[in-house]
């Protein structure tokens, strides 16, 4: 009995092994056939049936994009630009645009470990855009307009309480945006005061998104996408500018060799 049982077990084990081998061989053949058919479809002309569907499935694994170099790569270059107004012999003067991001990143090329100050305007524009995008369409339209009103003694900033009541009193996104808006106004006011050497009345800024060409067009001289520009209204520069703070900003401008940017912006203004 024991010999017959062992013989049956060996035969059963051998049959199972043969069956597993056959299943593996058939599976490998089917997969190979699918890969071959998919490869042929991928190289066929556009419009071939199933090509678009197959590309959407295979693209993340087999096609080359900028994501080859990083899983969460930036899709656009951000640039924060500003201009300012001040009085010159009782005449309001408006400067041309100055790119603060270009100013701060002047020493990045060729520098293995640049200072974190190079990312100040880039980080600010990133956060500002996120808080702006959290608003609804009506709120976005309003915040892109001016925050200045005519008062008893001339133009003045609209009080934050009035802006909150207008945009949404119980909306947390409004509060977060207005805080960032105020911080941006202060940040750019100090740059304007240091760069133009004037008592700044107002500042205005815009965020420029410049998307690079796709991977397949990386060597093309012609740009594939037009820059996207989001411009915000004028803000009254109602901040004190202590000399020690202005001197620090002026030192940054001098260290980056960016005095020329402000001189040209003042000369090309209105």
Q: What pLDDT score was predicted for residue 112?
A: 46
* 218 Cβ contact partners less than 8 Å away, ≥ 6 residues apart: 212
Distance CA 52, CA 65 (A): 17
- In three-state secondary structure terms, 246 is helix
Helix (H), strand (E) at residue 98: strand 98-99
**pLDDT tens, position by position, 222-234:** 888 888 899 999 9
Q: How far apart are CA 262 and CA 95, in angstroms?
A: 9
Q: Where are the domains of the chain?
A: 2-63, 77-267
Query: How would you write the pLDDT of the chain (270 residues) with one tens digit per residue?
Result: 555 545 555 555 566 677 778 888 888 888 888 777 767 766 667 667 776 776 666 665 555 555 555 555 666 778 899 999 999 888 899 999 999 988 888 765 554 455 555 678 888 998 999 999 999 999 999 999 999 998 888 889 999 999 999 998 889 999 999 999 999 999 999 999 999 999 999 999 999 988 887 777 777 788 888 888 999 999 999 888 888 999 999 998 988 888 999 999 999 877
Q: How far apart are CA 82 and CA 185, in angstroms?
A: 10
Cα angle: 142, vertex 144, 145; to 5 degrees: 70
The set of long-range contacts for 161-164, using a CB threshold of 8 Å and a minimum separation of 24, is none
The pLDDT assigned to 10 comes to 55
Query: Quick check: helix, strand or coil at residue 147?
Result: coil
CA 164 from centroid of its chain's CA atoms: 27
pTM of the predicted model over 0.75: no
Write the CB contacts of 102 (distance below 8 Å, at least 6 apart in sequence).
79, 261
**200-to-92, 150, 195 alpha-carbon distances in Å:** 10, 17, 11
Place of tokens 């997969």: 31
Alpha-carbon gap, residue 140 to 173, rounded angstroms: 11
Whether 184 and 234 have beta carbons less than 8 Å apart is answered as no
């Amino acid at each position: 009995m024991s010999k017959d049982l062992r013989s049956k077990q060996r035969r059963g084990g051998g049959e199972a092994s043969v069956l597993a081998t056959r299943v593996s061989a058939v599976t490998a053949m089917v997969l190979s056939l699918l890969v071959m058919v998919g490869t042929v479809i991928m190289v066929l002309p556009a419009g071939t049936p199933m090509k678009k569907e197959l590309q959407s499935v295979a693209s993340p694994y087999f096609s080359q994009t900028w994501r080859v170099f990083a899983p969460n790569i930036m899709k656009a270059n951000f640039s924060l630009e500003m201009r300012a107004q001040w009085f010159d012999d009782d005449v309001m003067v408006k400067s041309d645009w100055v790119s603060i991001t270009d100013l701060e990143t002047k020493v990045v090329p060729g520098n293995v470990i640049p200072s974190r100050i190079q990312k100040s305007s880039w980080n600010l524009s990133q956060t500002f855009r996120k808080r702006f995008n959290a608003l609804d369409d009506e709120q976005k339209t309003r915040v892109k307009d001016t925050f200045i009103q005519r008062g008893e003694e001339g133009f003045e900033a609209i009080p934050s309480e009035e802006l909150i009541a207008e945009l949404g009193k119980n909306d947390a996104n409004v509060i977060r945006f207005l805080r960032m808006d105020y911080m941006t106004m202060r940040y750019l006011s100090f740059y304007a005061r240091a760069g133009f050497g004037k008592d700044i009345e107002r500042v205005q800024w815009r965020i420029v998104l410049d998307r690079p060409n796709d991977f397949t067009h990386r060597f093309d001289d012609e740009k594939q996408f037009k820059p996207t520009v989001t411009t915000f209204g004028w803000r009254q520069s109602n901040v004190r500018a202590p000399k020690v703070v202005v001197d620090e900003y002026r030192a940054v401008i001098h260290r980056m060799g960016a005095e020329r940017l402000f001189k040209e912006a003042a000369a090309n203004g209105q």
